[in-house]
Structure 1
Amino acid sequence: MLHDEYADLEIVRKDLQITDTERDVLISRAITAACRKIDDETGRRFYLDEVASARTFRTRGRVLIDEDGQTLLVDDIGDVGDLVVETGRGNTWTAVTGYELAPENALAQGKPVTGLLLASGSWPTGTGRVRITTRWGWPVKPATIQQAAHLQAMRLYRRSSSPEGVAGSAEWGLIRLPHLDPDVRAMVGPYELPGMA
């Protein structure tokens, strides 16, 4: 399985009851499309970058203030081994220390860090920026997301027999197929970032 794919080609092939490898290209395309659809639906991706990269954030609308301090909401951080947090702008950056990862124990639970808490001090406001260098993504692929990708990939592969989005049987007649399997929608729903539904 490729690092950015959530379903396994061999398992999908087996569940489709295909015993040869002649259609692997079509199945692989369905897996890739299913995975990217899940990414689009949730507003995030469920694999970990291989190398650290920098992202710059404006703080406006990203800082939550409560009795614990100020939490800067960030994209999913899946590994903190290379984590560097800086504030500034342009070519002038200053390292930030003393922050805490939020939610607590996220990485130990196989979930990403989504916030950086400053118990004392504050994140910059106005034109200030925060630059974060880390490995982005999820530390592990959630089993629910893998199952959702598996189901959606099988559905997409089978769409070749219903190219207009309509399927039928003698028992039910013709029905229009939704773009995202209802079971898949239920599985990925809890992972959606706010505003993505």
Structure 2
Amino acid sequence: MAVTEYITLPQLQHALRKQGTVQADDELLALHIRAACRGIDDHTGRRFWRDDAPSARTFRPLNASVWDADGHLLLVDDIATTDGLVVEQGSTSGGWSSVTGYEVAPDNAVARSRAITGLRVQAGWPCYAGARVRVTAVWGWPAVPDVVEQAALLQATRLSKRKDSPEGVIGSAEWGGMRLAQLDPDVKALLKNYELPGFG
């Protein structure tokens, strides 16, 4: 699985040039990009690139599912596409049997360039001790959202200017010294709707 950055080096270079910032060497700028992108992953609790091929993961319905008006929803890691999607159920001590008739959630996720985050069945997922659901899928997002790309660019630009704010304090003739937050407030605002519960 290749880790993907959400912005490119030329994008960051262009943003810094527009702001009149003296640029660091390319290796340091690439480090800022990686740090910004992985910081976004940590902040949201998810990652926004798409795997190259399907792989299998297992989930425990006992701890990762909810009932709603439409049936029993199993919460899964982000899935980028229904292509290659295989769902099976079984247990830690037995084999696997294919699951059919499931629905993906949220509705129209992939058509809206969003990730699939749940699998719903009417009859219910097995919820006894040791029950597992094995999902083979292309994990990640269909494409990096524009909002995430913008957040990565803002944060990488901020990191590139960090040399001008020793000990996390930046000066202003009007306001005096101000301490910088770890994550740019605008980045937090952009990512708000992409955070998993318990993150952010």
CA distance in 2, matches of 1:186, 1:20: 27
5+ residue gaps, structure 1, are none
The CA distance in 2 between the partners of 1:34 and 1:21, in whole Å, is: 17
**Who is 1:152 aligned against?**
155
Quick check: 1:180 aligned with 2:192?
A: no
Once the two structures are overlaid, the 10-residue window that deviates more, 17-26 or 181-190, is 17-26
Q: Which residue of 1 aligns with 2:196?
A: 193
2:8 partner amino acid:
D
Higher fraction of strand: 1
Query: Which of residues 56, 60, 71 is equivalent to 1:54?
Result: 56
Distance 2:26 2:46 in 1: 27
Which stretch has the larger CA shift, 15-24 or 129-138?
15-24
User: What letter matches 1:183 in structure 2?
Assistant: D
Distance 1:9 1:124 in 2: 47
In the alignment, the residues of structure 1 paired with residue 152 and residue 54 of structure 2 have an alpha-carbon distance, to the nearest angstrom, of: 26
Farther off after superposition, 150-159 or 91-100:
91-100
C-alpha distance in 1 between matches for 2:178 and 2:10: 30
Query: Which secondary structure does the structure 1 equivalent of 2:108 belong to?
Result: coil
Structure 1 residues 20 and 184, CA, compared in 2 at 3 Å: closer, same or farther? Answer: closer
Count of residue pairs brought into register by the alignment: 195
Change (3 A) 1:99 1:67: same
Q: Is the 8 A contact 1:13 1:19 kept in 2?
A: no
Structure 1 residue 36 corresponds to structure 2 residue 38:
yes
Residue 9 of structure 2 is matched in structure 1 by: 9
TM-score, normalised relative to structure 2: 0.91
Query: Where in structure 2 are there 5+ consecutive unaligned residues?
Result: none
Aligned position for 2:29: 27
Paired with 1:70 and 1:193, the residues of 2 have a C-alpha distance of 20
Contact 1:110 1:139 in 2 (8 A): yes
1:3, CA displacement in angstroms? 6.4
Equivalent residue number for residue 128 of structure 1: 131
Cross-structure match for 1:171 = 174
Deviations 1:26-55 (A, max 9, x none): 111111100111110100011111111111
Alpha-carbon shift at residue 100 of structure 1 (Å)? 0.8
Q: Distance in 1 between matches of 2:108 and 2:173?
A: 53
Distance 1:63 1:104 in 2: 17
SS in 2 for 1:85: strand
* Deviation of the 1:21 alpha carbon: 8.5
Q: Indicate the SS of the match to 1:114.
A: strand
Give the drift of 1:88. 0.9
**Which one of the candidate residues 118, 121, 136 is aligned to 1:115?**
118
CA distance in 1, matches of 2:142, 2:166: 36
Deviates more, 1:160-169 or 1:32-41: 160-169
1:86 counterpart residue number: 88
Q: Give the distance between the partners of 2:155 and 2:188, measured in 1 at CA.
A: 10
What is the root-mean-square deviation of aligned Cα atoms in Å?
2.0
**AA aligned opposite 1:195:** G
